[in-house]
Structure 1
Amino acid sequence: MSDDDISDGAEDVVGVLTAQIEKRFAMGIGQLKSEVSLAPAADPEATDIVKWHSLLVASQTALDQAEDALLAALETQPSEVDDPTMDLAHRVNTSVTARDGRALVVRWLLDPDAPGKKDPAAEQLARARRGPAVPTSAPAPGPAQVPAPPAGRGMAR
């Protein structure tokens, strides 16, 4: 499997969901975004879907950038991977998790029969929903953590 195969498979998540959104609303995603921006209260469901689709696209972009940075770093590594490169690998994993979580939200929003959508409490919760409960953007790269010094054999007096 080549690097392009991996990227194409990941981008298919966004592509498949975009196609489902376009089919559901019988218009292109660009037109739907325009309609929602003009009248966000007109169709709360469309507004939610557009919002989460935009978050999904942003996550995919962050993932693509993280993968590119990791691949570039790996090309310069001899045989052992250094801490900054491992940090990039963790950033890729975090980006995948964020992208997949957002994809699940879009899938849930598109499914009228999804669990939790039929009872009144779920409808009230859906109206109150404003965004993700936790930050879902990739963490900013920071310094590598320094391991704690080994514990001594005795107590200092």
Structure 2
Amino acid sequence: MSDDISDTTENVVGVLTAQIEAHFGVRMDQLKAAVSVARTANPDATDVVKWHRLLADSQAELDRAEDALLAALETQPSEVDNPTLGLAHRVNAAVAARDGRALVVRWLLDTDAPGRRDLAAERLARLSRAGRKGPAVQTSPPH
């Protein structure tokens, strides 16, 4: 494979964006606009848009960290100094953050994923309680 690292990592966001668009049947910019207008209309869409934004932010941070590391490595002699090693740790942390957020997006898109059915049932119960004015069970004041 002849892709460089940045092409491969940018594909994570691109692939997940394409999966989101296929899942909801609209372009990502349309989905973001719809969610910004009606946040509570589709909780799944709201969650996906939120995590996609976090994913894109973490990808941007990873790109910055990689650029800083590459610039530092170009000026290094054969041994890497501590500041450059710190940049390498920053890249590793950025990869972990990006990959974790990518996993959340994939989980949100998988309606059969473990825990998703429970989450949908919980949301439905929360919505049905939203119209209620008082407590679910009649209570008496404390003595």
TM-score of the pair, normalised by structure 2:
0.81
1:123: Cα distance to partner?
4.4
**Which residue of 2 is the match for residue 110 of structure 1?**
109
Q: Distance in 2 between matches of 1:65 and 1:49?
A: 24
Moved more, 100-109 or 6-15: 6-15
Partners of 1:58 and 1:124 in 2: how far apart?
Answer: 29
Q: Which residue of 1 aligns with 2:48?
A: 49
Q: Which whole-Å CA distance do the structure 1 matches of 2:28 and 2:44 have between them? A: 14
Counterpart of 1:36 in 2: which secondary structure? Answer: helix
Aligned to 1:66: 65
Distance 1:85 1:123, change over 3 A: farther
Deviations, residues 46-67 of structure 1 (Å, cap 9, x unaligned): 0000000000000000000000
**Change in CA separation of 1:75 and 1:111 when aligned onto 2, cut-off 3 Å:** same
> 1:133 matched to which residue of 2?
none
Deviations 1:12-71 (A, max 9, x none): 110000000011111111111010000000000000000000000000000000000000
CA distance in 1 between counterparts of 2:66 and 2:60 reads 10
Q: What is the deviation of 1:118?
A: 2.1
Task: Give how far 1:119 is off.
Answer: 3.1
- Residue type of the partner of 1:24? H
Q: What is the percent sequence identity of the aligned residues?
A: 69
Distance, in Å, in 2 between the alignment partners of 1:56 and 1:108 is 13
Say which SS state the counterpart of residue 77 (structure 1) adopts: coil
Question: How well do the aligned residues superpose, as a CA RMSD in angstroms?
Answer: 2.0
Name the CA distance, whole Å, in 1 between partners of 2:66 and 2:121.
38
Q: Deviations over 1:92-138 (max 9, x none)?
A: 00000000000000000000000111236x7438x99xxxxxxxxxx
Q: Normalized against structure 1, the TM-score is what?
A: 0.74
